[in-house]
Amino acid sequence: MTEKLAFIIPELILFIATCLVMVTGQWPVRAIRNFTPWICGIALVLAGMVAAMTPGDPAALFPNIMPYAKFIIAAVAILLVINLTGTVDRELEDDVDNGKPFLPIRSTGAEFYAFFMFSITGLMLTASADDLIWLFLALELTSLPTYIMVAISTHKNQSREAAVKYFFLGALGAAIFLYGFALIYGAAGSTNLSEIAVHFSDNGLGTIGLAGVLIALLGMSFKIAAIPMHFYTPDVYQGAASPVSAMLAFVPKTAGFLAIIAITATVGWNEFGRLPATVESMLWIMAALTMFVGNTLALLQTSVKRMLAYSSIAHSGYMLVGILAGPGPDGAPFYRNGIAAILFYLLCYGVMTIGVFAVLGAIEKRNADGTTSEADDIEDLRGLCKTHPVLGWTVVVCALSMLGFPPLLGFIGKLGLFSAGISAGQIPIVIILGLNSAIAAVYYLRLVAVAYLDKGDKPATVATLSPYASRRLAGVCSAAGVVLLLVVAQPLIEGAHKAADFNAPVPHQTDTQQDQPAEHALADHEE
């Protein structure tokens, strides 16, 4: 057990920071309360550095996935915590500035940042999971805090309604994949993922094992917002504050794909890079429908948050192509490794999607009743490159990257998925991926056109900047990452390739199997 502690040092760092955040977020002194996001950021930097230096687990199915996954999680989480500043307690702090006393009972800052850190800790534990029980607990630690973060992110009833929908559908998804885990345990007689993989390799999936894998994958489709568990996504993204929506776009999705990679690895890919036929058919249909439904419904939206929600659904469909492609044969290069393509694409998606949400959070509009709210309607972005060039160009660069426009970061990420799918012989789903990329171009270019080409001469489109400069900073960092990460793309790609090394389970030889070569040799000698 002690050797496992070396693998979770980044999580322990985040846990210590979470305990500190619970105290500083309620501190009567304003300067200490303001230091709370800094504690989160410092802890994430330390956790990322430690994760990068942590050796992989040689006994795992993917021995090197843990350090790389935790590193990209920490990197994207730093952008998220910069973007989250000012999400809660804004009215309370305004009252304090006006001379009123600070009332801790009214404050939710400590809980908000603590829940954020708990969710990131759960995400890192998902990357460390080598056991079904561990995997279930890590997935729930990732998800449960986000339900509360959605509820308290604004004072509107819309946020509470979104949180209720999110919670009940999340509970349904958890119940489904937990039932699948129970069936897998019943079929394999173990909760250890490597032992399950060896059992399936020796004895085949069987009816119970196959049912368990299919049901588990169905339940995990909730985490990645894939068909048929995608219904909550647009309402939750629109109901939550923009910084929380950015978090939902990356954190649960990454946890879901790490879990899907772990479960599909137990059944394995054959020498032709194919999953068992039934599992492959289910994932193929899920990927195709997820891409078409996500992109088609995104075309109909005037709310940018709902558009990005349906875009998030479509991106899950893109990454499922990597699951179908698998890790490729031993020693396969990056362009033939679907798992490496997913790991790299998760980093790309996290960086570029935060940029657009950061811009929405950085812009405020005054409503008819005198209150202010974040930008959401696409008209709120009209002429943004003229009125607020930094924010406008952030939208343009990040939207083009999400489209996959060369030579931006999103193009490199999507190219890996295309090449892995083609190398694995998954030509039909790659064609569907190409068609959906063309469909997505319509609404991404619409965002670009509104921000860049339109002049913003309507009074309703005039934007007021949020007083929290950190949101603008998060947007600028995302846009810069979309461009500058191209310089270090090769090391990141090589890291993803190394992380996707697959330890295929070696079947145990029975006594009968061990005797067969001698019998065959004797028969040949007699002939």
Q: Please give the single-letter amino acid code of residue 187.
A: A
Residues 319, 323, 324: CA angle, nearest 5 degrees: 110
Q: pLDDT band at residue 526, thresholds of 50, 70 and 90? A: very low
Of residues 82 and 335, more confidently modeled = 82
pLDDT per position as a tens digit, 4-34: 788 899 999 999 999 999 999 999 888 899 9
User: Rounded to 5 degrees, what are φ and ψ at 97?
Assistant: -65, -30
Asked if 205 and 266 count as a contact pair (C-beta separation under 8 A), the reply is no
Counting Cα atoms < 13 Å in the Cβ hemisphere of 315 gives: 32
Residue whose C-alpha is closest to residue 399's, from 416, 417, 378: 378
Q: Could you check whether the bond before residue 491 is cis, i.e. omega within 30 degrees of 0?
A: no
What is the pLDDT, as a whole number, of residue 383? 87
Token digits of residue 122: 């759960």
Q: Residue 123: what pLDDT?
A: 96
Give the single-character DSSP code of 87.
S
- Residue with the larger pLDDT of the pair 18 and 368: 18
Amino acid at 238: Q
pLDDT at residue 287, as a whole number: 96
**CB neighbour class for 98 (10 Å; exposed up to 12, middle 13-18, buried from 19):** exposed
Q: Where are the domains of the chain?
A: 2-501
What pLDDT was estimated at residue 369? 63
Structure-token match 């019998």, residue found: 519
**Residue 221: pLDDT over 90:** yes
Helix (H, G, I), strand (E, B) or coil at 262: helix
- Would you state the pLDDT for residue 505? 77
Instruction: Pick the more confident residue, 83 or 364.
Output: 83
| Mean of pLDDT over the chain | 89
Q: How far apart are CA 77 and CA 407, in angstroms?
A: 25
Give the separation between CA 338 and CA 275, rounded to whole angstroms. Answer: 13
Q: How confident is the model at residue 144 (pLDDT cuts 50, 70, 90)?
A: very high
Q: Does 106 score more than 90 pLDDT? A: no
Q: Mind listing the pLDDT tens digit for each residue in 427-475?
A: 999 999 999 999 999 999 999 999 988 764 554 445 688 888 899 999 9
Whether the ω angle into residue 228 lies within 30 degrees of 0, i.e. cis, is yes
Task: Quote the pLDDT of residue 349.
Answer: 96
User: What pLDDT sits at residue 521?
Assistant: 36
Confidence band, pLDDT 50/70/90 cuts, at residue 371: low
